[in-house]
C-alpha cells in the first residue's frame, strides 16, 4: 500500500473530524476545532492517507511562551487501520517535518493507554511526569517528551 504523509488539505478536514470521533468516541474534538487549527497552524495538522482516504491524523500547536516546544494535542489512527504501523509512520514523519523548528515535542497520554505509550517510547519519547487530575478529578495523564537537544549528545 502506498501511504502519503503531509499537512492536511482543507478538503480533508471533515474526514479528520470523522476519524477523531471513530477513534475516541465522546468527548472528542469537534470539526470546527480542526477548521480553525487549519488556519492557525496549517503545517501542524498532519495526515497519513492512501489514494482514497485519510487513515490517521495528528494535531499539534506551538506554545506561545515556550517557542521551541511543540504540543502534540492529538494522535489518532482509524480503528480499522490500527496495529499496522501507521501510528508510528504518522508520529515519526510529523516529528521529522518539524525537527528544524522545535527542540522539544510534548504530549500527554492516558496512563492506561499502554499501546500509545509504547508507540511514543519506540520513537524516543520518555515519561516526564505524572499529573493527577489533569483534566478533572480522577483523570490523570502522563506527560511525555521527546527532547531533540539530547539526541546529538
Ligand atoms: C494509539 C494509536 C495512535 C496507535 O496507532 P497504531 O497505528 O495502532 O500504532 P502502530 O501500528 O504503529 O503500533 C501499534 C502496535 O502494532 C504493532 N504493529 C505495527 N505494525 C505491525 C504489523 N505490520 N504487524 C503486526 N503488528 C504491527 C506495533 O508493534 C505495536 O505493538 P504494541 O502495541 O504491542 O507496541 C491508535 O491505536 C489509536 O489511534 N488509538 C485511539 C486513539 C488514541 O489512543 N490516541 C493516542 C492518544 S495519546
Ligand 1 neighbours, Cβ below 6 Å, are: 23-24, 75-77, 82-88, 109, 113, 115-116, 118-119
pTM above 0.75, yes or no: yes
Which band of pLDDT confidence, cut at 50, 70 and 90, is reported for residue 152? Answer: low
Q: What is the largest CA-CA distance in the chain?
A: 43
Which band of pLDDT confidence, cut at 50, 70 and 90, is reported for residue 1? Answer: confident
What is the average per-residue pLDDT within 114-118? 98
How far apart CA 56 and CA 15 sit, in angstroms, is 10
Print the domain residue range for 119.
4-150
Which band of pLDDT confidence, cut at 50, 70 and 90, is reported for residue 151? Answer: low
What's the structural domain count of the chain?
1
pLDDT tens for residues 64-79? 999 999 999 999 999 9
- Domain with residue 49: its CATH number is 3.40.630.30
pLDDT tens for residues 6-60? 999 999 999 999 999 999 999 999 999 999 999 999 999 999 999 999 999 999 9
- Decide if pLDDT at 147 tops 90: yes
Distances (CA, A) of 125 to 71, 95, 151: 13, 11, 11
Query: What is the 55 CA–ligand 1 centroid distance (Å)?
Result: 13
Which three cell numbers, joined as nine digits, stand for 72?
A: 502534540
pLDDT, averaged across the chain: 96
Relative to beta strand 104-109, strand 126-131 is: unpaired
CB contact at 8 A, 108 and 143: yes
Amino acid at each position: 500500500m502506498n501511504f502519503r504523509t503531509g499537512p492536511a488539505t482543507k478538503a480533508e478536514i471533515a474526514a479528520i473530524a470523522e476519524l477523531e470521533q471513530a477513534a475516541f468516541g465522546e468527548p472528542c474534538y469537534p470539526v470546527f476545532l480542526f477548521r480553525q487549527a487549519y488556519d492557525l497552524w496549517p503545517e501542524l495538522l498532519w495526515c497519513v492517507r492512501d489514494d482514497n482516504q485519510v487513515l490517521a491524523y495528528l494535531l499539534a500547536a506551538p506554545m506561545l511562551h515556550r517557542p521551541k516546544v511543540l504540543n502534540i494535542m492529538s494522535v489518532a489512527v482509524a480503528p480499522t487501520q490500527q496495529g499496522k504501523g501507521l501510528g508510528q509512520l504518522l508520529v515519526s514523519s510529523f516529528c521529522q517535518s518539524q525537527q528544524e523548528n522545535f527542540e522539544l515535542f510534548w504530549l500527554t497520554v492516558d496512563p492506561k493507554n499502554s499501546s500509545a505509550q509504547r508507540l511514543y517510547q519506540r520513537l524516543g519519547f520518555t515519561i516526564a511526569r505524572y499529573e493527577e487530575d489533569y483534566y478533572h478529578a480522577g483523570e490523570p495523564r502522563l506527560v511525555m517528551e521527546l527532547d531533540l537537544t539530547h539526541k546529538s549528545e
